[in-house]
Amino acid sequence: MRLLILSLLCLLSTALHAQPGLEDGPEAPVREAAQAMRSRQYIKAEFIYRSMLDADPTSNTTRQLLSHALILQGRYGEADSINRSIIVKDSNVAGSYWYLALSAERQNQYDRAVYLFDRYLAKTQGQATQNQSAWLHMGSNLRRKMHDKGINEQEWGLMQHYYKQYLSGNPPDPYVDSLYAFLDEVRRRRPSPGALLQWDESGSE
């Protein structure tokens, strides 16, 4: 179940490749790079993004897209360095929080991922371009933490809240019904104060 959740989030991240904060660029290389990302040719996409940066080294959009290609190659340190350098210059560049969160998520840094997705949502509050799947990522990071380490009573409540926020937007998500089924089951498993809920969804804690 944990691997399924991560796989779905990875597919969602790649499919929703036009991420929050992205701007227009030269049309042909942008299309070619996006196609490379969709077909999981991440090294090819990296090469295209680096070529685009040679032409315009100031583009935060291209730097963020390059970081995504690096994240999907497992080169987290390089990707994080790019996004941290963007935030140092302008802490309101929301897309860099998104990519830092994706990097943390793929490294099973559950709490850090939740924090960074929350920062992304705060930076994009009220914006039409806000990516509502951030709520899904936040809920799923706590869900995976529940599988691996256990979650406390507060995290149990937050996990449900994040999923409900995501579902409130009526997302075109084929797994909506399974999310509702999960919420119906997990609400019966509230941990006692001071205790942890560690449940792998196999039916036993």
- Give the DSSP H/E element, type plus range, for residue 37: helix 27-38
Q: Could you tell me if 70 and 140 lie in one domain? A: no
Instruction: HSE, CB side, 13 Å, CA atoms: give it for residue 16.
Output: 22
Q: Are residues 141 and 171 in the same domain?
A: yes
Domain with 32 in it: 21-125
Q: What is the CATH number of the domain that holds 87?
A: 1.25.40.10
How many distinct structural domains can be found in the chain? 2
Q: How many CB atoms lie within 10 A of CB 53?
A: 15
User: Which pLDDT tens digit goes with each residue over 132-152?
Assistant: 999 999 999 999 999 999 999
Mean pLDDT on 2-20: 53
Q: Residue 74: helix, strand or coil by DSSP?
A: coil
User: In this structure, are 35 and 120 located in the same domain?
Assistant: yes
In the chain, count H helices and then E strands: 10, 0
Q: pTM for the full model? A: 0.87
- In this predicted structure, the answer to whether residue 61 has a pLDDT above a threshold of 50 is yes
The answer to whether residue 98 scores a pLDDT higher than 60 is yes
Residues whose CB is less than 8 angstroms from the CB of residue 87 and which lie 6 or more positions away in sequence, other chains included: 93, 96, 97
| Final residue of a structural domain among 87, 105, 125 | 125
pLDDT (mean) for 101-121: 98
Percent of the chain whose pLDDT exceeds 90: 84
**Confidence check: pLDDT of 37 > 50:** yes
Residue 175 and residue 188 in one domain: yes
Residue 152 has what pLDDT?
98
pLDDT at 18 over 50: no
3-state percent breakdown (helix, strand, coil) of the chain, nearest 5: 65, 0, 35
What's residue 108's pLDDT? 98
Asked whether residue 87 falls in the same domain as residue 146, the answer is: no
Same structural domain for residues 82 and 169?
no
- Mean pLDDT, the chain, integer: 91
Q: Are residues 55 and 106 in the same domain?
A: yes
Instruction: Assess whether 27 and 54 both reside in one domain.
Output: yes
Q: Are 64 and 90 in the same domain?
A: yes
Identify whether residues 50 and 68 lie together within a single domain.
Answer: yes
Residue 56 near residue 62, CB atoms below 8 Å: yes
The confidence score (pLDDT) of residue 17 equals 45
Give the residue from 64, 98, 125 where a domain finishes: 125
**What's the average model confidence in pLDDT over 80-95?**
98
Same domain, 116 and 183: no
Per-residue pLDDT for 205 more than 60? no
- Taking the C-alpha atoms of residue 47 and residue 98, their distance in angstroms, rounded to an integer, is 22
Residue 140 sits in the same domain as residue 116: no
Domain closes at, from 78, 98, 125: 125
DSSP string, 167-186: HTT----TTHHHHHHHHHHH
pLDDT over 60 (residue 29): yes
| pLDDT for 202 | 85
